[in-house]
Amino acid sequence: MQTMTTLLRGAIGTAALLTLPYVHGQSSPSMTDIQIDANTVEAHVHPEIYGHFAEHLGRCIYGGIWVGEDSDIPNTNGIRNDVVQALRDLDIPVLRWPGGCFADEYHWRDGIGPREERPAMINTHWGGVTENNHFGTHEFMELCEQLDTDAYVAGNLGSGTIQEMMNWVEYMTSDADSPMANLRRENGRDEPWDVQYFGVGNESWGCGGSMRPEYYADVYRRYNTFVKDYGDHIYRIACGANGDDLNWTDVMMDRAGRNMDGLSLHYYTLPTGNWGDKGPATGFGEDAWMSTLNNALRMDEILTNHSAVMDKYDPDKKVGLIVDEWGVWTNVEPGTNPGFLYQQNSLRDALVAALHFNIFHKHADRVRMANIAQTVNVLQAMLLTDGPKMVKTPTYWVFEMYKVHQDEDLLGLELDSPEYEHNGQSIPQVSATATRNPETGVIHVSLVNTSPEQATKIAAKLEGFEGKTVKNGRILTADAIDAHNTFDDPEHVQPKPFSAVTLEDHELALTLPAKSIVVLELHP
For residue range 472-517, what is the model confidence (pLDDT) as tens digits?
999 999 999 999 999 999 999 999 999 999 999 899 999 999 999 9
- What is the rounded CA–CA span in Å between residue 457 and residue 413? 17
Q: How much is the CA Rg of the chain, to the nearest whole Å?
A: 23
Q: DSSP labels for 332-360?
A: PPTTS-GGG-----BHHHHHHHHHHHHHH
Which one of 48, 55, 131, 203 is the catalytic residue?
203
Query: Residue 94: which of 44, 55, 152 has the closest Cα?
Result: 152
Q: Is 476 helix (H, G, I), strand (E, B) or coil?
A: strand
- State the span(s) of the chain assigned CATH 2.60.40.1180: 3-45+409-523
Count of H-run helices and E-run strands, the chain: 9, 26
State residue 363's pLDDT score: 98
State residue 505's pLDDT score: 87
Query: Residue 491: which of 392, 402, 400 has the closest Cα?
Result: 392
pLDDT of 10 higher than 60: no
On the CB side of 417, CA atoms within 13 Å amount to 24
Distances (CA, A) of 494 to 233, 343, 381, 474, 499: 40, 19, 15, 10, 16
Give per-residue pLDDT as tens, 141-195.
999 999 999 999 999 999 999 999 999 999 999 999 999 999 999 999 999 999 9
- What is the rounded CA–CA span in Å between residue 352 and residue 292? 8
- What is the rounded CA–CA span in Å between residue 110 and residue 118? 6
Determine the distance from the C-alpha atom of residue 309 to the mean position of all C-alpha atoms in its chain, rounded to a whole number. 23
pLDDT of 347 higher than 90: yes
Crossing angle for the helix pair 347-362 and 394-402, to the nearest 10 degrees: 30
Q: Residue 32's beta-bridge partner residues?
A: 458
- To the nearest whole number, what is the mean pLDDT of the chain? 94
Arch. (CATH architecture) of 3-45+409-523: Sandwich (2.60)
pLDDT of 7 higher than 90: no
Amino acid at 128: G
State residue 468's pLDDT score: 83
**Per-residue confidence band for 322, with pLDDT thresholds at 50, 70 and 90:** very high
State residue 20's pLDDT score: 37
State residue 26's pLDDT score: 54
Q: DSSP labels for 388-410?
A: TEEEE-HHHHHHHHHGGGTT-EE
Give per-residue pLDDT as tens, 239-266.
999 999 999 999 999 999 999 999 999 9
- State the span(s) of the chain assigned CATH 3.20.20.80: 47-405
State residue 28's pLDDT score: 87
State residue 328's pLDDT score: 98
Determine the distance from the C-alpha atom of residue 362 to the mean position of all C-alpha atoms in its chain, rounded to a whole number. 15
Q: What angle do CA 211, 215, 216 make, to 5 degrees?
A: 65
Query: Residue 455: which of 11, 13, 18, 9 has the closest Cα?
Result: 18
Which one of 48, 55, 131, 325 is the catalytic residue?
325
Amino acid at 435: T
203 is catalytic: yes
pTM attached to this predicted model: 0.93
The class (CATH top level) of 47-405 is alpha beta
- What is the rounded CA–CA span in Å between residue 112 and residue 183? 10
What average pLDDT does this structure show over 68-78?
97
- What is the rounded CA–CA span in Å between residue 38 and residue 129? 53
Give per-residue pLDDT as tens, 420-453.
999 999 999 999 999 999 999 999 999 999 999 9
Which DSSP category does 24 fall into?
T
Strands (E), 423-515: 425-428, 430-436, 443-449, 456-463, 469-476, 496-497, 501-504, 507-512
State residue 249's pLDDT score: 98
466 is catalytic: no
- What is the rounded CA–CA span in Å between residue 307 and residue 365? 10
State residue 4's pLDDT score: 34
pLDDT of 294 higher than 60: yes
pLDDT of 11 higher than 70: no
CA torsion, ordered 13, 16, 17, 19, to nearest 10 deg:
180
Helix (H) or strand (E) holding 324, with range, is: strand 320-328
What average pLDDT does this structure show over 292-302?
98
User: Would you say 430 and 512 are in contact if contact means Cβ atoms under 8 Å apart?
Assistant: yes
State residue 12's pLDDT score: 26
Distances (CA, A) of 230 to 67, 150, 175, 236: 33, 17, 8, 14
